[in-house]
A and B are shown apart, each in its own frame.
With several copies, the nearest count.
Chain A
Amino acid sequence: MVVGKAAIRCFGVAEASISDSIAAARVQGHPVQGRKQEIMIDKRVTSIADAMKGIKDGSTVLFGGFGAVGHPGQLIDGLIEHGAKDLTLVGNNAGSGRVEPLVRLLATGRVRKIICSFPRSAGSVVFDEMHKSGKLELELVPQGTLAERIRAAGAGVPAFYTPTAYGTALGEGKEVREFNGRMYLLEHAIRADVALVEAWQADRWGNLTYKLSGRNFNPIMATAAELTIVQAQHIVELGALGPEHIHTPGVYVNRVVHVPYGDPAPALVTTA
């Protein structure tokens, strides 16, 4: 039914590729006690390289984290190794210093554009240099609008109205509309090809929990991409996460890789 499929594809949910992901996940299936020889849902992959398979040049990539906390640094490293280029990155920050994975990814020159709320920080030298020299495009979005645009993509809402940024430089050129005497801007969903997510616990279905402030953008990003890849500190048995305490249902997740990297670096620098 061509029309329907085309319509759905507008949001980037290409049927074939999703089925491919499921097939890929199934390949990872292996015998488990009591269900020997039976293939089942198992989204775990055994290496970061496997987790990155199929990411194409030109992809839009969401990355979780608020600074270092809940940031999937090892997956970003994997993306560098993978080599995809002409990328659009979407996340809150643009990294600081010269050694963290996000900054090294920017330095490869494979990122065309970054959509974020807070690119500038004390140490955001690489972003600064590349942006000033015209090598990296910036779309600056208020943090709440960024979050809502990502959430909207995952929720099948193509656009919504928000009061944020009305009358400011960041609202220029946007469609304005009045509701009940107040002015709002029209904002569009940010649908991505790939989401890179950092979780605390994951099971083989891809059900996730996040630790404290590590939650931040991760749950909404997990919903907004065609291919959601998770690095999890802990892999747990199916059923170990309480049904009422799962933060991201596995339905949103395509691949999970175990990355027990430990704690994020304590961060006392003042940035946002």
Chain B
Amino acid sequence: MTTTASRATGAAEGFKPWTRPEMAARLAKDIPEGWCVNLGIGIPLLVSNFVKGREVIFHSENGIVGMGGLQKPEELEPWLVNAGKQNVNLVTGASIVHHADSFAMIRGGHIDLCVLGAFEVAENGDFANWTTSLTDGVPAVGGAMDLAVGAKRLWVIMDHTSKDGRPKLLERCALPLTALKAVSRVYTNFAVIDVGPQGFEVIDMAPGLSMEALEAQTGAKLKRKAA
């Protein structure tokens, strides 16, 4: 039902939502060369596929500055893992730091951009991505809260609506927050939306999508970003 549901919606509305690779590529286009970027697990990781030819330095919170791609079976180095504990490579120029230094780098504002997934984003930049419930199951937080408050800017990449079709961009988050007033931009399968001083500002929309159709899928007011 997940992306399919959204796409079904798109089809019904007569437009074609962006695919995940398209979303990642759209986000990657906005990353200038030279930035140091931390990518969350999941869709955010796809972004690294679309910065080829530019020097972007990928940071992994377990202490890698200059992370490369996933290892191929023949290059196995089990002593190198990313934040998702996948085996990765280093790029030329990479360095290793310990956990306190790595989070000092994050908290101290030295990461230009963090890209995370989210369950909900509010029009004031609040967002929720770490747990759907504080009572059911065991919560886990990892480095999300540190990244959210520490990186110079936080962009969220996610489907525009939930698996069951409910809006994920809202006036106020209902789920437990990861950080307050932290998100500056959202890339969804429907649109690219800035979190401005007065709320959501639409920068870009999937081909064929109307502002009205987008608003119908969004739980907060939208306005077009002034050029």
- A adjacent to B, CB under 8 Å: yes
Question: Which stretch of B15-23, B138-146, B205-213 is in the interface?
Answer: B138-146
> Which residues of chain B have C-beta atoms less than 8 A from A231's C-beta?
none
Shortest Cβ distance from A216 into chain B, in angstroms?
5
**B203 contacts the other chain (Cβ, under 8 Å)?**
no
Contact digits for A213-227, partner B, Cβ 8 Å, 1 yes 0 no: 111111110010000
CA gap between A265 and B139 in the complex, in Å: 26
Return 29 A-B CB contacts under 8 Å, by A number: A1-B125, A4-B125, A13-B109, A41-B55, A67-B81, A69-B80, A117-B141, A119-B138, A120-B139, A132-B138, A141-B141, A142-B141, A144-B61, A144-B145, A144-B150, A154-B110, A156-B108, A156-B109, A162-B107, A164-B145, A212-B79, A215-B96, A243-B66, A243-B90, A243-B94, A246-B96, A251-B111, A267-B81, A272-B84
- A residues 138-158 near B (Cβ < 8 Å) are 138, 140-145, 147-148, 150-151, 153-157
Q: Is B184 touching A4 in the complex (CB atoms < 8 A)?
A: yes
CA gap between A231 and B160 in the complex, in Å: 48
Residue of B nearest to A43 (CB): B34
> Which residues of chain A have C-beta atoms less than 8 A from B93's C-beta?
203, 205, 207, 238-239, 250
Secondary structure of the B contact surface, majority rule? loop
Total number of B residues with any Cβ neighbor in A under 8 Å: 78
Residue of A nearest to B112 (CB): A18
A interface residues with partner B (beta carbon < 8 Å): 1-4, 7-8, 11, 13, 15, 18-19, 22, 25-26, 38-41, 66-69, 92, 117-121, 124, 127-128, 131-132, 138, 140-145, 147-148, 150-151, 153-157, 162-170, 203, 205, 207, 210-220, 223, 238-239, 241, 243-244, 246-247, 249-252, 263-272
